């Protein structure tokens, strides 16, 4: 009992406290169909971002701008294509300087290493064998300008700036288009952005130097040719009746028949005084003109061709038949367009070089002067003042044009209309 009195009952343990309820979040408050819509929206955003990354990687094989090693080339330049422009100044360079041509074609591999796929690299080689001084006739350069203007080009590659243009007018036209559409220009020295002031300044200097280099080369070649011409050694082709030996000596053609035909032409012109009369004489006697081939597999062989007025006129005006060496006998009008420039023959006192008694002659110098004067007089037969013989010239020209009998032919109709105009203008001048 005493032990039981000492043991007092322990107090009852307090009941455990109730855990606080978690607050209801926004996700829990959404109804089930809203939750499904939100999950679908987030999944679409993730898939869209992954798709953009894959497409960017396909246009940038190197992964980033710094991988290609060129700071000017950015991701937007890979979307359009890269153009490799190939040009040689002459057909001789195309045939002989093949190493330069292969170097220019090899720039396509450079564009591929920079990041452009092979199918997006365009090689323009339409201007092989064409000078870069004028833009006329350079279909490849015009095509390049068109592609840049259509925003189809991200990079233009060339071995040097002179391959693109040798004229500042064409060069700055290309620079303006490249700066407008964000096209880069590259050569073996580096890559340039025409939108950048420093790069544009450098490109402008290179274009100016290319044009100046062309002038210096032309001047140097002209002076060298003049020095050789003053010695009487600048002979490219010899006329009919002469041959040029491997040593450079010019002699008469060894074929006696060729010499006889040349002498007959000069004798007939001295007798009849007209190129047309000489042509009719040769045709009536079935005489053909001998021609020595100057190139090709038949070089040096003798061929016979039908005579014509142009060939006879050139023979009669050539001073070599009088034993003289001449250089600079004609001049082209530089003010006209290149396609419309005409060759104007100069009198002997305006020739740059004239050395008489240099070659074996067929005629004398006095006979040559008479022949040239006769040809000039025949050519100016209808160029006298209108007040004197306008009506006679008009009648003569109209009669030749009106003699066409095929009235159904379009060309005949045009000639008849021209004849009527000659008659009209001739009558007007006589009033």
Are 184 and 154 a contacting pair, CB within 8 Å? yes
Are 263 and 252 a contacting pair, CB within 8 Å? no
DSSP state string for 269-321:
HHHH--HHHHHHHHHHTT--EEEE--SSTTTT-EEEE---HHHHHHHHH-GGG
- Is 247 labeled as catalytic in the residue annotation? no
Q: Give one word for 127, left, alpha or beta, with left for phi > 0 and alpha for psi -120 to 50.
A: alpha
Catalytic member of 10, 75, 89, 167: 89
- Nearest CA-CA partner of 194 in 134, 148, 150: 148
- Nearest CA-CA partner of 138 in 160, 170, 107, 108: 170
CA atoms within 13 A on the CB side of 87: 23
Query: At residue 391, what are phi and psi to the nearest 5 degrees?
Result: -65, -40
DSSP state string for 210-234:
HHHHHHHHHHHHHHHHHHHHHTT--
Query: At residue 292, what are phi and psi to the nearest 5 degrees?
Result: -90, 125
Alpha carbon distance 163, 302 (integer Å): 41
The residues, any chain, with a CB within 8 Å of residue 353's CB and separated by 6 or more, are 226, 229, 230, 232, 325, 326, 327, 328
Could you list the active site residues? 89
């Amino acid at each position: 009992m005493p032990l039981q009195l000492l043991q007092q009952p322990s107090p009852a343990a307090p009941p455990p406290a109730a855990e606080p309820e978690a607050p209801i979040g926004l996700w829990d408050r959404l109804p089930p169909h809203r939750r499904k819509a939100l999950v679908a929206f987030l999944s679409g955003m993730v898939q869209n971002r992954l798709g953009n990354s894959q497409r960017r990687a396909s246009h940038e094989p190197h992964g980033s701008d710094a991988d290609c090693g060129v700071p000017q080339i950015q991701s937007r330049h890979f979307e359009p294509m890269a153009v490799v422009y190939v040009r040689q100044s002459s057909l001789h360079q195309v045939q002989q300087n093949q190493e330069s041509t292969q170097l220019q074609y090899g720039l396509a591999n450079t564009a591929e290493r920079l990041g452009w796929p092979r199918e997006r690299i365009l090689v323009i080689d339409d201007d092989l064998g064409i000078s870069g001084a004028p833009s006329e006739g350079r279909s490849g350069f015009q095509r390049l300008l068109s592609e840049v203007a259509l925003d189809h080009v991200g990079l233009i590659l060339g071995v040097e700036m002179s391959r693109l243009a040798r004229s500042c007018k064409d060069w700055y036209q290309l620079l303006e288009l490249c700066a407008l559409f964000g096209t880069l220009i590259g050569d073996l020295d580096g890559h340039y952005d025409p939108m950048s002031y420093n790069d544009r300044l450098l490109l402008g200097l290179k274009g100016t130097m290319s044009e100046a280099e062309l002038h210096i080369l032309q001047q140097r070649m002209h002076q060298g040719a003049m020095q050789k011409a003053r010695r009487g050694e600048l002979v490219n082709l010899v006329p009919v009746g002469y041959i040029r030996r491997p040593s450079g000596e010019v002699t008469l053609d060894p074929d006696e028949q060729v010499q006889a035909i040349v002498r007959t032409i000069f004798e007939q012109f001295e007798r009849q005084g007209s190129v047309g009369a000489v042509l009719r004489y040769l045709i009536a006697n079935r005489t053909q003109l001998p021609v020595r081939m100057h190139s090709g597999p038949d070089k040096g062989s003798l061929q016979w061709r039908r005579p014509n007025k142009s060939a006879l006129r050139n023979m009669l005006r050539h001073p070599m038949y009088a034993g003289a060496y001449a250089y600079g006998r004609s001049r082209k009008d530089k003010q006209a367009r290149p396609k419309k420039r005409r060759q104007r023959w100069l009198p002997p006192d305006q020739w740059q070089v004239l050395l008489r008694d240099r070659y074996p002659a067929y005629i004398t110098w006095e006979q040559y002067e008479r022949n040239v004067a006769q040809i000039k007089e025949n050519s100016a037969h209808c160029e006298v003042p209108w007040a004197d013989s306008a009506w006679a010239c008009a009648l003569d020209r109209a009669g030749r044009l009106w003699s066409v009998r095929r009235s159904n032919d379009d060309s005949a109709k045009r000639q008849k209309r021209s004849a009527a105009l000659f008659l009209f203008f001739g009558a007007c001048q006589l009033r």
